Structure 1
Amino acid sequence: MILDNGLKIMSIDATDLFRVEVESTKNKKGKEIKVAKEIVPSGLSSYYDYYDESKDEILHLRNPQLFKMKLDSSMALDELGRVIADRRMTKTAFFNVRRKLATDQVVYLTFKYSSFRSTLEDDKDDKGKVKKYRVDGKTKETIRYMIYDKEDFSFKIDDIEYVRWCRSGNASRQGKCFFINKELVHTMNLFTDCGINPKKRRINLASFEAYRALLLSHKTANLDIRPENILLIKDVKSVFKDKVMYVGLKDKKLFTEEKEMTIENKIWDGQSLIDKSLMGDYQDKGMLLLRHKFFKSCCFNSNIQQWFKDNHITDVSQLNGITTAKRIEDIKFITTRSSIKYCKFGDTESWFYDWLKQISKKNIPFGIVKYEKPTKYFGGKLVRTHYQILNTLQITKNKITELLQQTLDYIELLRKDPLAMYHYCEATSDDEDSDLMMNVKADVIYRMMKLNMSFKDTKLYKHLAKNVIESIRADIKCGRILVNGNYSTVLGNPIEMLQESIGKYEPETTIVGKGNIISTAFPQKQLLACRSPHITMGNIYLPHNTENHLVTTYINMTDNIMVINSVGENVLQRANSMDFDSDQMMIVDNDIMIDAAVKNYDKFLVPTTDIEPDPKEEEYTAKNLAKLDYESSENLIGQIVNLSQVLNSKLWHEMNKEEPNQSYIDRLYKDVCQLSIMSGLEIDKAKKTLIVDNKNELKEIRERYKSKEDGKIGYPMFFKELGKKGNYDSKKTYIFYNTTLDMIGDEIAYKTMTVEGTEKALHKILRKPDIKSRDVDKDKIKAVLELCEQRAKDDKKLGVEKTQLGKSEYNRMRKQTIENFLEDLAEIKMNQATLYTLLTSKDAEKYEDYILQGLLELKSSTLKKLVKTDDTTPTLVEDAAGDIEIYGIKHKKSEVA
């Protein structure tokens, strides 16, 4: 069974597994009310009854509302398909739900609620919503214990008993977990657990659960690497002293102080080198992020065999490492212990050979998770900044005006020239991390103008274009500004890694040089770099871009790879606990930002820590797993990042005064450095056992800065834009600070955003069919509108949760929301009369973008017949001789697209 396109599975909340038994009683006023008595298994089914009029019979079909989750193509999914096929379960385990392949063998369980829905027919409120009851003693935590511990509660759906299987790192931060058919769990665990039996030993649960889930990562392709291709070399540390802002732990409490301390950098932590000849169809890529059993590594395109030849290495006996190869020409992959997570759990003496045996079973290839990509902005030449970096720069008011000028000029062009808007939407209608068109309004403009250029003259175009421009303005207020730069995957000291492979590396020496990087995308000059999350001023990195013959000879660079040095310099902690397992840095070549960074570069010490995770080992029990998953779900990263930006704003506001209070500034910076370290600890707690009470530490810092008058902390004005696009949070107090982001907001606030042009009705570009009232299906129109209303609610909810979810999980959920919408819309077949009536109705006006995007994505033949097509829409193309300049890049009008 080939499952390359993923698989639909059930997604349910834990409380859906229960029903509430209620009893009638009387309140103090003598009124009869219903109260929750207890909860019992709900008897949830994946089927629903459907009356088929044509056959005059009731059909039992899979409920598409339950199958809203997609299990992406992955190594684990490949194995699930093999296991099901081997057991001859294919006909029952796989089925279609709305023409998409699905299974009931895996369930995605969420833990959102601590209250339970009533199942009584008449138990609804005045708005028709099913009432919820809170049952005494039943919280998110206790519900999880009940489900994990089968003695208290048997979790069954359609006679299949499900048991906890595993959870990915992103899912664990929201408390989500995969459950699997009990009959399959043992075999699947043999695959994911790499031969480790956690029930026979005490184990570090956080690490084990994180590493066994590596095989759930979405893969784009496979790559064959044989055991004899691999050379294992040792991880090398650079040890040096530096003066830092040290965050330490004493009596289980954090403290922060200036200190000269000894720092240890793993100079190629999490990275590998792969010979170009081994990369198959991906030889033009600079890196491949690979997965296998208990293996995760960012593998950089290298000329390993050429290195051996140039250094006269002709026999494996000359190598400085461990390998099973007999011939030197077989060595095409160099890695270290830090990439092979099995080393933490395997036998001390034989772990490497045991791991090779595990990955060799069934000749299963490595999974390619991702490779480096340029940004989507102007051919990868520009990058979009974020509020975290801008709010750590002390940019003056006049320089802010200068920084924004190209963006404001571009907005003017978008307002006045529909072709410029068409060009913008063509480039930004999709998302960098998705093959779906995520930017709905931009997508509709692009696709409709491609069909008919006259779409630019419609009222809908003006509405959508204004929304696009308003979205750009909101982005600017949130610090998202296009500047010259890119995102580059970080490669650490690769020549030293090659030297180590043949025993020629001399400790504490560096080929690149301290304070230098190598990037082919930029000239040789000083650049600004930062990693996300970027918390404070001490996280800014100002390297010099250089050239190096050894690097360019043996490393096949692309513009989105950067070589850095971590020998003898505190760059890894400066970049907020960076390593080399595919971490990226935003590199900016913008003189205004660089000058602002240089101004304070030596004033703020790097936040640094030596706090290690708790190495404790526990029994692999349902109780301990429930505790781990619950604690992982209580994620504070959003709160930590937000508070850090509040303190940064207060710090700049104080520094910009004529007579700043230095002791207050020092106190602020110490606290924000502590938040920087806390952010790293919080991110890692899904795979490492946390020994710091971040919740309490966060509370104490917040309390220090609350106003004595109203007890509120005083958020900067730009926070009202983050996540909620201009909506004030009534629980917060907003204050204008003399900080970069608030000054940017002030600069952009009153700029004209209206779109020039006519306002014809949409029907002007539609062919009106011969409509008879009997041909218009009002039920289908109502169904589409209800579907759009639900989509709008889902989008709004996701927007609010965006910061907490993180980029990758937000994109996954957004993609899933769009796919679910498209599947539901595809079920509503409309003839021309019905669709024309829908598109021209008053009720559909606020959902026209959803409807059009959905139908365009589904390649609706009905819509295509309705829209008048002219195929005359040109676009803008980059041309040095062009007369239209956008961000310093010349463009001209092209021929018809």
Structure 2
Amino acid sequence: MDDNKNIYINSWEVGEIWEHINLGKYLKQDFAGMLAYSLQLDKLKELKINIKESKIYKDKLTSRDIINVKFNWGKPKNKMQLALINNYFNNKKSAEIDNIKSEIEIQKEDCLKSCKNIKQENVVRNYFRIRLQVELRNIRFINNKLNEKYIKKYNYNNSAEKLREELYINGFSIIYKDLISTGKKDDKGKSIKEEKETTIDYVVLGRSSSKSRNGLVLFVNKKKYKDIKRFMRMGIHFENRTDIDFPSLLTYESLCGSASEGIVIIDPNSIFIVSDVKSVFTNPTNVIKKDDSGKLISEYDENYMMENDLFDGEGLGDISVFQDAGREDKGMMLLRQHMFKDCLFNCNLQQFLKDNCPKDIKYEDWKLEDMFGNRMFAKDIKIITTPNSLKCLKFKDVYKGNKKAGTIIVQMFNKWKKEVNKTDNKFFIVKSEHESKRGFNDKGILNQASYQILNSLGLNFKEMQQLSKFEVNYIKKLKNNTDTYIEYLKENANEMNSNLMLADLIKHNNKVLDTKIVRDKRKDDIESYINHVKRGKIRVNADYCTITQNGKELLYHSIGKLPLNTNGTLNYDAWKNEMILKEGECYSTLWDFNKEYVCTRNPHTSQSNFLILKNVYSKFVKDYFNFTNNIIYTTAINNPINRVLSGQDVDSDNLLMFNVELMKNKVLELKDYVVCENGVEKEPLNYTVCNRDMAIIDNKLAKSTRNIGTVVNLGQLYMSTYNEEKSKEEAEQDKDKLKELLQGIEIATILSEIAIDQAKKTYDIDFEEQIKYLSKCKYLDSKKPLFFQDISDSNTISKKDDYGEYIHIRPYKTGMDYLYNILNSIDRKPRGGKAVDIVDLLDSKINETKAHLKQKNGIIKNVEEINKKRSAIESYYSKRLRENKRLDKKEENKEKYTKINEVVAEGMHIIRKYKIKPETVKSIIIDVFENTIECKCKLELLNALYKANKEVFLSTFKEEKTN
């Protein structure tokens, strides 16, 4: 068994679990969730969790010892769930009635056999008739009472919040039913199986690290809980303590569960820890804070004292570490270990140390002192990082180690190294940087923007036409150019669609493009792509770059040559002449040097989130760092970059670096917009480390996460209204209106940051109340912009009245609505000419009358079964997303695709068993497309034949190409 594989686990709604516990409803095991390869999974395997291999997917491993629980059921589903309960008891009642009728009938017949005359028979029949009436009355009475009881219970516990609390505190049990072979066979030689029940008791383990903000929670077999929880907390006793930051602990303990791409072995004794350093300076800032009434306001401060962490979450790793990981061609690796999260940048660290060794000391003898007072040989240092990456140091007061080892922080550091040693010094690589896969044009690489970025640029219609020109031309090529469409199909191919089949078939015989089935598919693909672009996903010359900052300062800090003030902050005056970058500068090989570029980071919410950076060459960076095009080196010294980029740090945050002259000119017009700062106080830490308080924290997190979309869209409504007012002649603009709208944008900016940050920090704020305050602005129109049709979760936003007019939307004079109209004006009509019959494209030399009839019927039946199951899955998830706005779309789609993939794989497993011949393939295509055999899933059928045997499928068609 491969130790580096992911494990698939069951993923259920908390409401489904409630039904199982209280109503005995069967829980279908679909293993749609996933426990990614990680340090945590390594430990669970060591603890011998029960892992099984899939019969269909030989490389797919599953386990029931861990499950994922989603907390999305709430009051919106009351009617549906109450109906479900009623149906359950009605079905239960019917089943019991049938059983008692059958039982009494058998007893009656037995008694009638012993009767000697008709009189005795009548007495027997009358007795059993009365008995049946009594039994039926009892069944109906008991079931009605139970029904009432459970409906009351459901009404009391119907919220996800209450169910979370109940399950976190008490845990729960799930009864699994499996068919197990008895070892016996029936008359036909088939194995006889019997149902066996297995009960597993589950307790809450914690958040999955990759889903910490989404609030998806792992529950584990109670038998494994103590060992795995102790492991996650490094064997430190935190239970029932009231003196620690519990929200942060919940986040940091889950770091060992981060999904990983691979591992690298690093001796923790080769890691050199230096203190974190801040740059403190004054900067004009809009501070968002609460007024006396609790309402958020934006307050301008000309001399706001801003603090930037210079090395927040980054580390420098010698190139030998990257070589050991097989990633010497990468500029960074995001690493995880016990309560450790570090973005390690590729550095010629040993070379720097050798170049700066004091002349009177041999390099082999040179020792450096870390922040703990430990002295290390310079030659042994492979990594330099700071306490911001080593999260366990935040809990140094909790651990009681060997006092002789030094201060409490030294004891904690030694404890961490010991725990790392126990894992064979394996550090897990979460990711490295990579370049865009969205293509190139004559100016270079392409990546896509977002609706937030486009809408905050203040573009007019002509400017949006210019910016979207590439996409408009591409959409026209999708319609008219065969090679472009084939490339599109290949780039968007996956196991669940027919793209690869169509791409190969078009290359084999491009006349297939003029068949109705392919014309319809192409039309749908173009419409789908237009809808994608309508969300602001226009491609321009840009790419994502992982941010590193002040690497030179970190290197000099490690050798004790970075001047610090007595409070540990940077002494700017003593260092400024040594700086390789000034404010407004960067180093990147993505674009040419000595030019200016627009940069921004997601989440992008306002005009003040744009940067213009001049790309300057640095010999120091070139000599000591091994960066790719997708790394950008910046400085946070006396520079508000961290705040401009929405509170960025350097633990793998990235920005979009645009090489677009139009965007640069527009951002230059926005230079007077002032950066925002979060001035909201953090919530007092009054939590106890226990499951009850964990439920309170996670409920609060789930609540704020659900509000992210609402806040972002509200910010976009403010932005669109602001842009519309700004589009007027200056003399006609309402200055008070603009001021209030801009303050609303600034407040929405900070609110969205707080919501995103809630996984590890809690703030003294009521989100719903703040959203209400923002929504009451007198300048906001009840009708939303046109582009809200593609970003809003509302099911009714596109509704029209009896006259065909939109009820809830109208066109705004704002960038995104201009894009919406530009895309809607594109001609979608399909290629002209009469459609070609696909049957006419089949090879006439193949004799379809020699088809294998049994194979033919079996293939069609299995394809229809696949399609039926697939449609049911898609319908189920579509309904869920439509009815419950609390759901995380990304997670829902991930589960949906996992289930569809399983269905397709099961069906194809059967189809591939057939040794299909061209005669059978041709016969199937003729019968289905000439409607001799009814089949509603023709495209899926062609794809199944292609997957079953690509060469045989293609050979069924004539090889032909036309211009």
Contact preservation (8 Å) 2:881, 2:887: no
Q: Which has the higher helix share?
A: 2
State whether structure 2 residue 462 is matched by structure 1 residue 417.
no
TM-score, normalisation: structure 2: 0.78
Q: 1:747 to 1:133 in 2, by over 3 A?
A: farther
Tell whether the 8 Å contact from 1:274 to 1:302 is kept in structure 2 after alignment.
yes
In 2, Cα distance between the equivalents of 1:120 and 1:303? 69
Task: Tell me what 1:231 maps to.
Answer: 272
The aligned residue for residue 547 of structure 1 is 617
Q: Does 1:468 align with 2:525?
A: yes
Distance between the aligned counterparts of 1:873 and 1:549, measured in 2?
57
Partner amino acid, structure 2, of 1:573 = R
- What do the CA deviations read for 1:4-49 (whole angstroms, capped 9, x no partner)? 23112122222223349xxxxxxxxxxxxxxxxxxx5345667xxx
Which residue of the other structure, out of 355, 371, 382, is the alignment partner of 1:332?
382
- Measured in 2, the distance between the counterparts of 1:226 and 1:811 equals 40
Whole-Å separation in 2 of the counterparts to 1:245 and 1:82: 52
Q: Distance in 1 between matches of 2:928 and 2:939?
A: 10
Question: Aligned partners of 2:529, 2:486: CA distance in 1, in Å?
Answer: 15
Report the equivalent of 1:429.
492
* 3-state SS, counterpart of residue 478 of structure 1: coil
Q: What amino acid sits opposite 1:733 in the alignment?
A: H
Q: Distance in 1 between matches of 2:797 and 2:344?
A: 45
Partner SS for 1:113: coil
- Matches of 2:936 and 2:555 in 1, distance apart? 60
- Structure 2: distance between partners of 1:220 and 1:783: 36
Measured after TM superposition, the shift of residue 808 of structure 1 is 6.5
User: Could you tell me which of 558, 561, 582 is aligned with 1:501?
Assistant: 558
State the shift of 1:490 in Å. 0.7
Q: CA deviation at 1:376?
A: 0.6
Following TM superposition, by how much is the alpha carbon of 1:512 offset from its aligned partner in structure 2, in angstroms? 1.5
Q: How large is the RMSD of aligned CA atoms in angstroms?
A: 3.4
- Which residue of the partner structure matches residue 107 of structure 1? 67
Give 1:343's aligned amino acid. L
**Equivalent residue in structure 2 for 1:760, among 809, 830, 836:** 836
- Which position in structure 1 is the counterpart of 2:639? 569
Equivalence for 1:556: 626
Distance 1:306 1:803, change over 3 A: farther
Query: Does the alignment pair 1:309 with 2:354?
Result: yes
Alignment of 1:197-212 (within 5 A): 197-202=237-242, 203-212=244-253
For residue 584 of structure 2, what is the aligned residue in structure 1? 515
Question: Structure 2: how far apart are the matches of 1:4 and 1:616?
Answer: 39
Letter matched to residue 641 of structure 1: V
Could you tell me how far 1:176 is from its partner in structure 2? 2.3
Aligned to 1:868: 955
Q: 2:52 aligns with which of 94, 101, 110?
A: 94
> Which whole-Å deviations, capped at 9, do the CAs of 1:196-255 have from their partners, x for residues lacking one?
222152232211111111122111100111012201011110101111111123455422
Q: Helix, strand or coil: the match of 2:296?
A: strand
Q: Using a 3 Å threshold, how does the CA distance of structure 1 residues 809 and 254 change in structure 2: closer, same or farther?
A: same
Residue identity in the other structure for 1:819? N
Contact kept? 1:429, 1:446, Cα under 8 Å? no
Q: Tell me which residue corresponds to 1:143.
A: 163
Counterpart secondary structure, 1:243: strand
Displacement of 1:110 in angstroms is 1.7
Structure 1 residue 553 displacement after superposition: 1.1
Partner Cα distance (1:257, 1:720) in 2: 34
Tell me by how many angstroms 1:302 deviates: 0.7
Partner of 1:632: 701
State the Cα distance separating 1:618 from its structure 2 match: 2.0
Deviation at 1:393, TM superposition (A): 0.6
Query: Aligned to 1:257, which of 299, 309, 321?
Result: 299
- C-alpha change, 1:798 and 1:585, in structure 2 (3 Å) is farther
Work out whether residues 715 and 734 of structure 1, in 8 Å CA contact, stay in contact via their aligned partners in 2.
yes
2:235 maps to 195
Which residue of 165, 173, 197 maps to 2:205? 165
Find out whether 1:180 has 2:220 as its counterpart: yes
Cα distance between partner residues in 2 of 1:298 and 1:645:
32
| SS of match in other structure, 2:170 | coil
Query: Is 2:371 the counterpart of 1:407?
Result: no
**DSSP-derived class of the 2:648 partner:** coil
How far the C-alpha of 1:595 sits from its partner, in A, is: 1.0
In structure 2, how many angstroms separate the alpha carbons of the residues matched to 1:847 and 1:389?
40
Stretches of structure 1 that go unaligned for 5 or more consecutive residues are 21-39, 47-62, 126-130, 431-435, 875-892
Letter in 2 for 1:544: K
Q: Distance in 2 between matches of 1:469 and 1:481?
A: 14
Which residue is equivalent to 2:721?
Answer: 650
Matches within 5 A, 1:349-498: 349-350=409-410, 351-378=412-439, 381-426=445-490, 428-429=491-492, 440=497, 442-443=499-500, 445-449=502-506, 453-498=510-555
Say which SS state the counterpart of residue 677 (structure 1) adopts: helix
1:302 maps to a residue whose letter is: C
2:787 aligned to 689, 711, 718, which one?
718
Aligned equivalent of 1:616, options 674, 685, 710: 685
d(CA) in 2 for partners of 1:803 and 1:311?
A: 58
C-alpha separation in 1, matches of 2:633 and 2:66 = 42
Of residues 39, 43, 56, the one that matches 1:79 is 43
User: Once the 2 structures are TM-superposed, how far is the Cα of residue 671 of structure 1 from its aligned partner?
Assistant: 1.0
Native 8 Å contact 1:416 1:756 kept in 2: yes
The change in CA–CA distance for 1:407 and 1:75 in structure 2 (over 3 A counts) is same
Asked if the contact 1:228–1:324 (Cα under 8 Å) also holds between the matched residues in 2, the reply is no
1:723–1:801 contact (8 Å) kept in structure 2: no
Q: How far does residue 161 in structure 1 lie from its aligned partner after superposition?
A: 0.8
* Shift in Å, 1:155: 5.7
Q: 1:185 to 1:450 in 2, by over 3 A?
A: farther
2: CA distance, partners of 1:353 / 1:417: 64
Tell me by how many angstroms 1:382 deviates: 0.4
Matched, 1:531 2:595: no
Q: Find out whether 1:4 has 2:39 as its counterpart.
A: no
With over 3 angstroms needed to count, the CA separation of the structure-2 counterparts of 1:854 and 1:592, relative to structure 1, is: farther
Q: Distance in 2 between matches of 1:855 and 1:303?
A: 54
Larger Rg: 2
Measure how far apart 1:476 and its partner are.
3.0
Q: How many Å apart are 1:534 and its aligned residue?
A: 0.5
Per the TM alignment, residue 325 of structure 1 is displaced from its structure 2 partner at its CA by 7.2
Cα distance, 1:316–1:713 mapped onto 2, change above 3 Å? farther
CA shift in 2, pair 1:773/1:359, >3 Å: closer
CA offset digits 1:561-591 (Å, max 9, x no partner): 1111111111111111111111111111111
2:22 aligned to which of 41, 45, 50: 41
Measured after TM superposition, the shift of residue 733 of structure 1 is 1.5
Instruction: Check conservation: 1:12, 1:66, Cα contact below 8 A.
Output: no
Q: Secondary structure at the match of 1:5?
A: coil
The answer to whether 1:736 aligns with 2:811 is yes
Q: TM-score, normalised by structure 1?
A: 0.83
- Contact 2:287 2:676 (8 Å CA) reproduced: yes
Q: Which residue of 2 aligns with 1:52?
A: none
The question of 1:688 aligning with 2:761 is answered yes
Alignment partner of 1:257: what SS?
A: strand
Aligned mates of 1:589, 1:486 — CA distance in 2: 9
Match of 2:403 in 1: none
Instruction: Pick closer, same or farther for the CA change 1:828–1:312 going to 2, 3 Å.
Output: same
- Preserved CA contact (<8 Å) 1:70 1:816: no
- SS of equivalent residue, structure 1 residue 149: helix
SS at match of 2:344: strand
Moved more, 652-661 or 185-194: 185-194
Identity of aligned residues (%): 26
Deviations 1:813-851 (A, max 9, x none): 465355334344345537555993696487998755566
| 508-517 vs 660-669, greater mean Cα deviation | 508-517
CA deviations over 1:95-152 (Å, ceiling 9, x no partner): 5364432111111112222454438568589xxxxx996722112122222222228x
Q: Which secondary structure state, in structure 2, belongs to the residue aligned with residue 8 of structure 1? A: strand
Partner residue of 1:118? 85
Give the counterpart letter for 1:137 in structure 2. Y
How many angstroms apart in 1 are the aligned matches of 2:903 and 2:507? 23
- Point out the more displaced range, 563-572 or 789-798: 789-798
Aligned to 1:836: 924
* 1:278 aligned partner: 321
